[in-house]
Structure 1
Amino acid sequence: MENQKSYPGKAPESNDQPATDLNEDIKHHIMTTMGNDFYPPRKDTYYKGLAYSVRDRLVKRWLNSQRSFYDRSAKRVYYLSLEFLPGRFLMNYVTNMQLNKACEKTLEETGFTMEEIEEQEWDAGLGNGGLGRLASCYMDSMASLNIPAYGYGIMYDYGIFYQTIVNGYQVEQCDNWVRWGNPWEFKRRGFLYNVQFYGRSELYKNSSGKLCYRWVDTLDINAMACDILIPGYGTQNVNNMRLWAAMSSQEFSLEEFNQGDYIGAMESKVLTENISKVLYPSDEKDVGKELRLKQQYFFVAATFQDIVRRFKKHNPDFKLLPDRVAVQLNDTHPAIAIPELMRLLLDEEDLEWETAWEISVKTFAYTNHTVLPEALESWPVRLISKLLPRHMEIIYEINRRFLNMVEKQYPNNPQLLHRISIIEDGPEQRVRMAHLAIVGSHTVNGVAALHSRILKDKLFHDFNIIFPGKIINVTNGVTPRRWVLQVNPALSSLITDTIGSDWITDLDQLKKLIPHADNPAFREKWRQVKLANKARLVKYIKRKVGMDVNPDTLFDVHVKRIHEYKRQLLNIFHVITLYNRIKKDPSKEIVPRTVIFAGKAAPAYVQAKLIIKLINSVADLVNNDPDVNHKLEVVFLPNYCVSQAEKIIPATDLSEQISTAGLEASGTGNMKFALNGALTIGTLDGANIEIMEEVGEDNIFIFGLTAKEVEKKRAQGYNPWDYYSRDEELRTTLDMVRLNHFIPGEPNLFLPIWDSLMALGDRYLVLADFRAFIQAQDRVRTLYQDQEQWTRCSILNTANMGKFSSDRAVREYARDIWKIESCK
């Protein structure tokens, strides 16, 4: 099953795509597009030849889709996201277009497998984590559901960074993901839009004597459209992401060049094009903050010029804009779009404020992705005033009118006005982007039931009273095409052989697996699929870090961004506890366990980087201790990314989702793991709650404080020393960290971790949940010893994950927020 290459599909392969045609197209592109010879066959040339051949087929479908949308005057969704995380494109396209068999047959003569060809592609460096991956899942679902849609963002030259581990420490290297070219993008040099920065806002009278504003004396930058096509599954529909690349309007200064100032001659071009160079440039310094805000406005300004151009083709009246256009703000990064649309309507289209505001609010919707107040984006007023002076004027006016409206409803309540104001007073005035997004949108949604409840009851409680019904919930989802059909072909084949293939586009069909959970023969097939996936991951681990791992151990996996609230510390403390138990009695039989960590820490996040060092230091000790004798092994896989997740997730037995309750908005990794048959150990946080409701309390390991209990404990005065003093295993573990048991030669290295827990109050309640976590892990060990029962729980996890399809989520957005219908 490990080498199985067949991918089941609901829709048949098109008759006009036989393998012979594909083979000829590949050779044609290798010769004419790449200027190469197809013999002898090489993986890199065949990858690109296949990529261009698949792209040809995509373009035909895309053109037909666009013509159809125009012919029907279809309302379109514009999904604005500062990041997308699509991973590799090739297999996703091949899967969605049902070209698998044709590709496999074509490659027979080369001796290459699709897996080998796929490995030639570099992960697209267009996103960082869950926000970007969710956006890509939604793009897949919108295309599959025949919803006319565009994803808008930035075409970054470099991803956030490429992570290596040197002596246990994270080292960041540039992620030059396009160094070998990108066969999937279409550079639309004919679509160049002018984006303005700096300058000043000028008041003038137009020909009718009306006072108007214009933005003058600006620094102008060109935005070039780059299209990447997104095919739907089981449909001919193809949407696309339109990503913007910064282009200087002047290549270089000939005068400076002729005077011998060769660097100065290129300086303007380099500084201009920095805007689309790097995803999330460091914002520690003011210049970095300014670049980030530039990025946000750059892609928003280009996007709205594109939207207006498309709208004006067939619509003379801007009052029709909300009937033709739905704009979804994926977090607050694109929230500057609200004053930008107002500027276009007021200054360019000469509409009155009330009309422009009504149009704008009806056009925008906003998705919130955090409950951490400190993570809510805000910008200094002085920075916006400098970079976008006209927008700052519009924001002031939005805020003035909003506060006047609220004061009429709730008079004599200055504290309320202070809390809800878009402009935050303080030593430095700041613009609260979440407040701007709420005020300027017709609908705001959270991404899990608990998250949305926290938004309404706590974080945005005042807004929920002022705008009753505006805040709703749309629980996140993941695409089953990518996260089962493509990444787990063996499991996909087993499911399809058992219940048919309708589940690929209707994930609720997985419930038909429930009766098979009690079938011993089916359980054995299920185990064999998992074992084959684990064997595949073992080979990957050997290749990446040179470590031999036993696939017959329990694969305990914690992969996500390294952050204190995600509590990788709690997990490594469990590892230390297991290690101490083995050392105490090396002859005692235990369930062998391989604990796998992966994830990146933000370059400036010192504590998160120290946690990575601790994990690797513990791994060095555990993996080289003869007393442990491979009963416990710890792996940290560097450079976690989509293609790595595609290997890890199908092989996982236990999924770690252990954030402090009330802090994770939703999570989507938890969904991907459970969908592939992993059992979850987690807190009642984010979508874990809804996963528990779907799979049943007996098929998930829930532990720890609830969100309400966390809040109560903090209010009563939480003291981590109480837990330290009364729990011997916890005390031993923490003392080993404090006393540098893992790196004796570097005294005080991990003292900041000790201090964060004991001296600074353990903000994320690691100690409070430690004993409950250990007890839950003991339950994991007991259940894993009974493989029949474990497998039954695994099957039931997959069978009950239908709710967590991105298709369901997108249908809810389309029905409840965008008011849009499928357009086949």
Structure 2
Amino acid sequence: MDRSNFIREIESGLNSKFGRGIENATPVQLHDSIAGAVMRDISGRWNKSVEKHLSGRRACYLSMEFLMGRAVYNNLLCLGIKDEVDGLLKEHGRSLSELEEIEDAALGNGGLGRLAACFLDSAAAHDIPLDGYGIRYKYGIFRQAIENGFQREYADDWQKYGDPWSKRRDSDAVEVVYADETVRAVPYDMPIIGYGTENVGNLRLWQAEAVNEFDFAKFDCGSYAEAVAAKTSAENISMVLYPNDNCEEGKILRLKQEYFFSAASLADIVKKHIERSGTLDNFADKVTIQLNDTHPVIAIPELMRLLCDVYGMDFERAFEITRKTFNYTNHTIMQEALEKWSAALMERLLPRVYAYVLMINERFIKEMYALGKDREFIRRLAPVSDSTVKMADMAVYMSSYTNGVAKIHTDILKADTLKDWYGLYPERFQNKTNGITQRRWLALCNEELSALITRLLGNDGWIKDLDRLAQLKKYADDEDVLREFMAVKETKKRQLADFIRVHDGAEIDPGTVFDIQIKRLHEYKRQLLNALSILYIYYGIKDGSIKDFTPTTYIFGAKSAPGYRRAKAVIKLIGEIGKLVNSDPETKGLIKVVFVQNYNVSYAEKLVAAADISEQISTAGTEASGTGNMKLMLNGAVTLGTLDGANVEIAEEAGEENEYIFGARVDELKKIMPEYDPRKLVFSDEKINRALDKLIDGSLDDGGVPSGQEGSFKELYKALTDGASWHVPDHYYVIGDLNSYVEAKLKANADYRDGLAFAKKCWLNMCSAGKFSSDRTVKDYAENIWKL
């Protein structure tokens, strides 16, 4: 990009749109004009890339979530002009750092959506023809505030200042038909700029609009609400990421969302294929579709409907093409998390699609009888049984491949969750361990460490080939390099401390250990275990049983689903523990607890770069993979965790001696849980009992939640000791793993005092992160599933 021309482009955009110059533009106006200049610059190569993808065989990634994060820095980095643009702005008294206030495009809830974003980045960087399809939610994951210790949710209007990184494409709009309404799906395309290449990927997000948004006759008669009822109903479909589905209306809206983007995407994919090929006979030769979890599985019967009803294909031929086209990524081993829909609801909302669900089901039953399977086996696996449509079963049956996202996860799918399916179709099952893009999660978020890596390697080739970090292991005993590495970590900790002071009003000491747990708040991720361990350690320091404790700041970042009262109680509990330990003169300076507000991608970029200890403490066998563990590892943190998800492979890559592994393993839990009684542990172990007592003795205030009601501290206690709702007592083995966890935590705390030895562990983690690049993952998909 020509230096002087780029500045002229920015200045022209500012002047024409806002009547401002660079010197007096607001950060939002500056961002808008930078985005405009970039979008104009890439338009030619973007159009060429789209056409190239469409003219050959391509993969389409259907996902309910795309957690893209802030685009401006990443796009400038991928174009190779970030530092140059920053320098140009500084000549005018401005800086790219001013764009920190720009909203994240938070169209995802956690790892699922961020994985989708990383995959698009990696595919673009490595010239892999992969395009994303999802929903353009008006409000993404909510904006979180902590008020009186409780999570409060506010609308995340990420488009309030516009969306300069997207292009509306009215010419590609399609209609999506439900039994009770027809809505218009309008695509907005977002470029995914490939690092170091001319390739630009495409993310197409659909926005729901009314076909006829205003009824003048009804308005003229005074029926003002009815006049815009169609507009409201249609727009609700793409209004909010994951509406609460605890009620019937919420379930209807969720199913409408899933069908909306699946049907719109398929209509678009099929139309563009026919425009180029003139036939659907070769559709599966030119298009492969990856279903990211069960949310888009409704696309399977929808493609059958399109092929048969719209294009006149016979059922068996359509069945063959559909099964060859789709592939399914499973993200959970928990049966309760495998999506199921009421057959009556689906039939009422999508009658013709449901008819094809039944036809697919009959085809399955016929196939199973031919294989000699008994009725119970067939009932268990049938896509429709007990008046329920089981989306995971539909996905496995109607896909070419099913993959898990970490080795242990895939092994559990084969041995347990999808055991019968694996017995039927072992050749269809693959493992694709998740990955992260090193562009955003190191080159962008940790420029200081990136500069050190580049200097030691002699060039920045690692930004597209993360395996090259392994060459740096030779410096693991080089004191000069380790001290430089430690200085980088200290810098990132100071930067995080400054940000937390401004963002959250909390003072933290960069000289302490930064022990960080950042992820979606869910019981299986066991933020409660972390909280209880802090109480355990706090009282151990006070009674003298824990000595020589290295001062530590425990940092949490997480959002709970709005209706998940027990998870929200854990947020309140962490805050109350923070009040207790932060104000106690006996532990002041030794323990600090901070729960940061509104954890998102941009906050994560600061947290992962500053962490010393990465908390990855899910119950063994519950976390499919995790990607936060990879981000923290890549930035030089040790893993304090269970052998769950990708932690297993992290320990294999970096060496278990460089991690802090604790807790019961999957095979051990199978033997333990049937006879497990957590009360025996509580009553026989004084230190566990002392920590648990704080939930019920009134010393921690849960803010007036009725005693025993879900969301109170007493109910948390009851869930651990007696069980609650569908839980057996201590369903996620929090009490069972507490002693082992504290032991590992104290070991890491003690080891930190030997600065060089601890730095070596961190360094070896960073050097061993090559396997966890999403570049590797996407190349694996491209070769072994998508056949690109």
**TM bucket, shorter chain:** over 0.9
Q: Does 1:557 align with 2:516?
A: yes
Distance 1:360 1:744, change over 3 A: closer
> Using the alignment, how far apart are the partners of 2:229 and 2:647 within structure 1?
50
Which residue number corresponds to residue 480 of structure 1?
438
Q: CA deviation at 1:36?
A: 3.9
2:121 to 105, 128, 140: 140
> Using the alignment, how far apart are the partners of 1:219 and 1:750 within structure 2?
45
Q: Does 1:423 align with 2:384?
A: yes
| 3-state secondary structure, aligned to 2:716 | helix
> Using the alignment, how far apart are the partners of 2:275 and 2:361 within structure 1?
33
Distance 1:219 1:798, change over 3 A: same
2:59 to 70, 73, 77: 77
| 3-state secondary structure, aligned to 2:80 | coil
- Which amino acid letter does the alignment assign opposite residue 423 of structure 1? V
Task: Tell me whether 580-589 or 267-276 shows the greater mean CA deviation.
Answer: 580-589
What aligned pairs does 1:165-184 form with structure 2 within 5 A after superposition? 165-184=146-165
Deviations 1:730-781 (A, max 9, x none): 1110112221222298594410011001111110011110110011012101
Unaligned runs of 5+ in 2: 724-728
CA contact (8 A) 1:22 1:106 kept: no
Q: How many equivalent pairs are there?
A: 777
- Which amino acid letter does the alignment assign opposite residue 652 of structure 2? E
CA contact (8 A) 2:572 2:702 kept: no
- Which amino acid letter does the alignment assign opposite residue 741 of structure 2? F
CA contact (8 A) 1:85 1:127 kept: yes
| 3-state secondary structure, aligned to 2:161 | coil
Q: CA deviation at 1:38?
A: 4.0
Unaligned runs of 5+ in 1: 1-16, 199-217
| 3-state secondary structure, aligned to 1:85 | strand
Deviations 1:21-50 (A, max 9, x none): 111110101112344444524322222111
Q: CA deviation at 1:687?
A: 0.5
> Using the alignment, how far apart are the partners of 1:36 and 1:286 within structure 2?
50
Q: Does 1:270 align with 2:228?
A: no
- Which amino acid letter does the alignment assign opposite residue 766 of structure 2? T
Which residue number corresponds to residue 24 of structure 1?
8
Q: Does 1:692 align with 2:673?
A: no
Which residue number corresponds to residue 390 of structure 1?
352
1:737 to 671, 675, 695: 695
| 3-state secondary structure, aligned to 2:595 | strand
Which residue number corresponds to residue 249 of structure 1?
211
What aligned pairs does 1:270-309 form with structure 2 within 5 A after superposition? 270-309=232-271
- Which amino acid letter does the alignment assign opposite residue 431 of structure 2? N
Q: Does 1:795 align with 2:756?
A: no
> Using the alignment, how far apart are the partners of 1:101 and 1:18 within structure 2?
14
Deviations 1:299-322 (A, max 9, x none): 111111110111012212312111
Which residue number corresponds to residue 529 of structure 2?
570
| 3-state secondary structure, aligned to 1:738 | coil
| 3-state secondary structure, aligned to 2:752 | helix
> Using the alignment, how far apart are the partners of 1:226 and 1:293 within structure 2?
22
CA contact (8 A) 1:18 1:102 kept: no
Which residue number corresponds to residue 481 of structure 2?
522
> Using the alignment, how far apart are the partners of 2:165 and 2:732 within structure 1?
43
CA contact (8 A) 1:196 1:219 kept: yes
Deviations 1:542-587 (A, max 9, x none): 0122111100100000111111111111101111112112222499
Distance 1:226 1:637, change over 3 A: same
Q: CA deviation at 1:267?
A: 1.5
Task: Tell me whether 172-181 or 576-585 shows the greater mean CA deviation.
Answer: 576-585
- Which amino acid letter does the alignment assign opposite residue 139 of structure 1? L
Distance 1:244 1:744, change over 3 A: closer
Deviations 1:394-416 (A, max 9, x none): 111111111121122124x2221
- Which amino acid letter does the alignment assign opposite residue 498 of structure 1? L
| 3-state secondary structure, aligned to 1:518 | coil
Distance 1:284 1:587, change over 3 A: closer
Which residue number corresponds to residue 673 of structure 2?
714
| 3-state secondary structure, aligned to 1:318 | coil
CA contact (8 A) 2:537 2:742 kept: no
> Using the alignment, how far apart are the partners of 1:125 and 1:649 within structure 2?
18
Q: Does 1:434 align with 2:392?
A: yes
- Which amino acid letter does the alignment assign opposite residue 385 of structure 2? E
> Using the alignment, how far apart are the partners of 2:148 and 2:703 within structure 1?
13
> Using the alignment, how far apart are the partners of 1:25 and 1:248 within structure 2?
36
Which residue number corresponds to residue 60 of structure 1?
44
Q: Does 1:464 align with 2:427?
A: no
> Using the alignment, how far apart are the partners of 2:472 and 2:590 within structure 1?
34
CA contact (8 A) 1:372 1:663 kept: yes
What aligned pairs does 1:57-136 form with structure 2 within 5 A after superposition? 57-69=41-53, 73-117=55-99, 119-136=100-117
Which residue number corresponds to residue 786 of structure 1?
754
Deviations 1:490-517 (A, max 9, x none): 0000000001311111111000110111
> Using the alignment, how far apart are the partners of 2:29 and 2:767 within structure 1?
41
Which residue number corresponds to residue 357 of structure 1?
319
Q: Does 1:348 align with 2:316?
A: no
> Using the alignment, how far apart are the partners of 1:792 and 1:589 within structure 2?
22
Q: CA deviation at 1:102?
A: 2.3
> Using the alignment, how far apart are the partners of 1:563 and 1:38 within structure 2?
45
Which residue number corresponds to residue 210 of structure 1?
none
- Which amino acid letter does the alignment assign opposite residue 583 of structure 2? N
Which residue number corresponds to residue 507 of structure 1?
466
> Using the alignment, how far apart are the partners of 1:270 and 1:110 within structure 2?
45
* TM-score normalized with structure 1 length: 0.93
Q: Percent identity?
A: 42
1:40 to 24, 31, 47: 24
> Using the alignment, how far apart are the partners of 2:538 and 2:2 within structure 1?
56
Q: CA deviation at 1:588?
A: 5.1
Which residue number corresponds to residue 191 of structure 2?
229
- Which amino acid letter does the alignment assign opposite residue 487 of structure 1? C
Deviations 1:568-625 (A, max 9, x none): 1110111111211222249954200000011011111110001111000110111111
> Using the alignment, how far apart are the partners of 1:744 and 1:567 within structure 2?
19
Q: Does 1:455 align with 2:413?
A: yes
- Which amino acid letter does the alignment assign opposite residue 758 of structure 1? T
1:813 to 770, 781, 788: 781
> Using the alignment, how far apart are the partners of 1:437 and 1:64 within structure 2?
33
Which residue number corresponds to residue 450 of structure 2?
492
> Using the alignment, how far apart are the partners of 1:491 and 1:195 within structure 2?
48
> Using the alignment, how far apart are the partners of 1:585 and 1:439 within structure 2?
59
Q: CA deviation at 1:277?
A: 0.6
CA contact (8 A) 2:435 2:773 kept: yes
Distance 1:802 1:323, change over 3 A: same
> Using the alignment, how far apart are the partners of 2:245 and 2:714 within structure 1?
27
Which residue number corresponds to residue 726 of structure 2?
none
CA contact (8 A) 1:195 1:221 kept: yes
* TM-score normalized with structure 2 length: 0.97
> Using the alignment, how far apart are the partners of 2:494 and 2:521 within structure 1?
26
- Which amino acid letter does the alignment assign opposite residue 184 of structure 1? W
What aligned pairs does 1:658-677 form with structure 2 within 5 A after superposition? 658-677=617-636
Distance 1:419 1:488, change over 3 A: same
> Using the alignment, how far apart are the partners of 2:107 and 2:694 within structure 1?
40
2:551 to 592, 610, 616: 592
| 3-state secondary structure, aligned to 1:128 | coil
Q: Does 1:366 align with 2:328?
A: yes
Which residue number corresponds to residue 764 of structure 1?
732
- Which amino acid letter does the alignment assign opposite residue 113 of structure 1? S
Q: CA deviation at 1:81?
A: 0.2
Distance 1:249 1:35, change over 3 A: farther
